[in-house]
């Protein structure tokens, strides 16, 4: 008795649909290209010229990788996939920005239960938008279909970026000193952190209709739209400010998972503390909504979510107004959120109990 042929397609992997998906994203990929990109998508490796580095005193390549996490579950439940790609890029490029690096190029990895070109094109459109906002080129990626491992509608994202900084201009926590000013940049919401908690208290057990219904406490937004607001990308605004105000910014912290409490300390040396003044910036409605639903204490809120501050710059006090003016000119909303004091590399808070007390 002859055996029946079992094809790759019969096992659940549709190579033809994969090829159609690549065709569907070509325009998005091309829209992100910089002059340094060599070749096109479809090769075994992405090519990018770093000839411009010869003009730097000591060029350093800076790499970063991250994902979107369980925020993807909210996107899947709501059937909205167009913004999570922005989150993917943001989490990587904002990280390498913390040392003053310019992101040069980006690669993505999409693992999906059942590949559908329209679905992939929607996700990649968001990745392309994130790359355009950051000024980096999307030069490669991978779409992997995982039948039998993932549910057909399930997917996960990973991103990888490489940037460059001239070592003499690199931001360095060792330069932070007592008296420096903390300038916070407004976040757009939860960004991409704390979603396991947010889903538990705001999403679990709700139908798609409930997730898409307007909520008064969210200013009329739905839970889905509030939770899917994409992470802000600060690259062009901050790099422009660094160029306009050379030497004024000592260090920078990207406020991600762990909140202010467990990220700002990464921009400090062991001789100083960061004293954050609670109530000196507005907390977004979605952050208060989730914290209220979870009955989070103030300390727990501050080490779970960004609470309205997506990035904090540590600035020479004599030049703080100059830096703020440059950031505002670039379109940023800034807040003086504290100062640097003598200490041992920790984050402390003044005005405890006043987290939600911003008066404008």
User: From CA 198, how far away is CA 270, in angstroms rounded?
Assistant: 34
**For a pLDDT cut of 70, what percent of the chain falls above it?**
94
Q: How far is CA 214 from CA 102, 209, 217, 230, in A?
A: 39, 10, 9, 18
pLDDT in tens, 136-174: 999 999 988 898 898 988 999 999 999 999 999 999 999
Range 148-151 contact pairs with CB under 8 angstroms and sequence separation of 24 or more: 148/12, 149/113, 150/111, 150/112, 150/113, 151/113
Tell me if residue 319 falls in helix, strand or coil.
helix
H or E element that contains 353: none
pLDDT for res 6:
58
Domain ranges for the chain: 8-169, 173-350
pLDDT score at 160: 98
CA nearest neighbour of 98 among 125, 151, 62, 66: 62
Residues 6+ apart with CB under 8 A from 217: 285, 288, 289
pLDDT given at position 8 = 58
For 324-345, what is the mean pLDDT? 98
In which element (H, E) is residue 244 found?
A: helix 235-244
Q: What is the dihedral of CA 216, 221, 226, 229, to 10 degrees?
A: -150
Beta bridge partners of residue 67, listed in sequence order: 158
Q: 2 falls in which pLDDT band (50, 70, 90)?
A: low
Question: In whole angstroms, what is the distance from residue 151 CA to residue 134 CA?
Answer: 32
Mean pLDDT value of segment 309-333? 98
Query: CA 287 to CA 118: how far, in whole Å?
Result: 32
Greatest C-alpha distance within the chain: 87
Mean pLDDT of 225-249: 98
Q: Write phi, then psi, for 75 (nearest 5 degrees).
A: -60, -40
Domain 173-350 -> CATH class: alpha beta
pLDDT of 43: 81
Percent of the chain with pLDDT over 90: 84
Report the alpha-carbon distance of residue 155 to residue 184 in Å, rounded. Answer: 33
Over residues 95-118, the pLDDT tens digits come to 999 999 999 999 999 999 988 888
Report in angstroms the alpha-carbon separations of 230 from 90, 187, 310. 9, 10, 12
Number of H helices, E strands in the chain: 11, 12
Whether residue 109 contacts residue 159, with contact meaning beta carbons closer than 8 Å, is answered with: yes
Length of the chain: 360
pTM for this one? 0.94
Question: What CATH number matches the domain at 8-169, 3.10.310.10, 3.30.1330.10, 3.90.1330.10, 3.40.640.10?
Answer: 3.30.1330.10
Average pLDDT over residues 167-190: 97
pLDDT tens digits, residue range 259-315? 999 999 999 999 999 999 999 999 999 999 999 999 999 999 999 999 999 999 999
Between CA 189 and CA 304 the distance in angstroms is 13
177-198: average pLDDT: 97
The burial of 81, by beta-carbon neighbours within 10 Å (0-12 exposed, 13-18 middle, 19 or more buried), is given as: buried
Cα–Cα dist 83/337, whole Å: 29
Contact, 64 vs 95, CB < 8 A?
Answer: yes
- Tokens 């000193």 belong to 177
The answer on pLDDT for 1 being more than 60 is no
Short-list 358, 218, 351, 222, CA closest to 288: 218
pLDDT at 27 over 60: yes
Residues 347, 267: Cα–Cα separation, whole Å: 10
CB 236, CB 134: distance < 8 Å: yes
């Amino acid at each position: 008795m002859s055996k029946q042929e079992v094809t790759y397609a019969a096992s659940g992997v549709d190579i033809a649909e994969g090829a159609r998906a690549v065709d569907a994203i070509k325009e998005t990929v091309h829209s992100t290209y910089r002059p340094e990109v060599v070749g096109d998508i479809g090769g075994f490796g992405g090519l990018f010229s770093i000839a411009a580095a010869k003009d730097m005193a000591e060029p350093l390549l800076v790499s970063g990788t991250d994902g979107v996490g369980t925020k993807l579950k909210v996107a899947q439940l709501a059937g909205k996939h167009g913004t999570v790609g922005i989150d993917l890029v943001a989490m990587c490029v904002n990280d390498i920005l913390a040392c003053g690096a310019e992101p040069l190029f980006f690669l993505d990895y999409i693992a999906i239960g059942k590949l559908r070109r329209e679905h992939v094109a929607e996700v990649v459109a968001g990745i392309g938008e994130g790359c355009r906002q950051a000024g980096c080129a999307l030069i490669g990626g991978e779409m992997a279909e995982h039948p039998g491992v993932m549910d057909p509608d399930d997917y996960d994202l990973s991103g990888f970026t490489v940037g460059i900084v001239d070592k003499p201009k690199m931001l360095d926590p060792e330069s932070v000193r007592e008296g420096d000013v903390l300038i916070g940049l407004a976040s757009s919401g939860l960004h991409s952190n704390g979603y396991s908690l947010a889903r538990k208290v705001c999403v679990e057990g709700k139908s798609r209709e409930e997730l898409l219904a307007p909520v008064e406490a969210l200013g009329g937004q739905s839970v889905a739209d509030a939770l899917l607001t994409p992470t802000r990308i600060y690259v062009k605004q901050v790099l422009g400010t660094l160029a306009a105000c050379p030497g004024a910014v000592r260090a920078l912290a990207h406020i991600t998972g762990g909140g202010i409490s467990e990220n700002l300390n990464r921009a400090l040396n062991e001789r100083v503390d960061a004293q954050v003044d609670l109530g000196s910036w507005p907390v977004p409605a979605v952050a208060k909504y989730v914290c209220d639903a979870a009955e989070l204490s103030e300390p727990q809120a501050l080490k779970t979510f960004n609470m309205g501050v997506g990035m904090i710059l540590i600035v020479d006090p004599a030049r703080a107004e100059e830096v703020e003016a440059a950031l505002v000119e670039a379109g940023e909303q800034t807040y003086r959120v504290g100062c640097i004091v003598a200490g041992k590399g920790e984050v402390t808070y003044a005005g405890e109990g006043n987290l939600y007390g911003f008066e404008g």
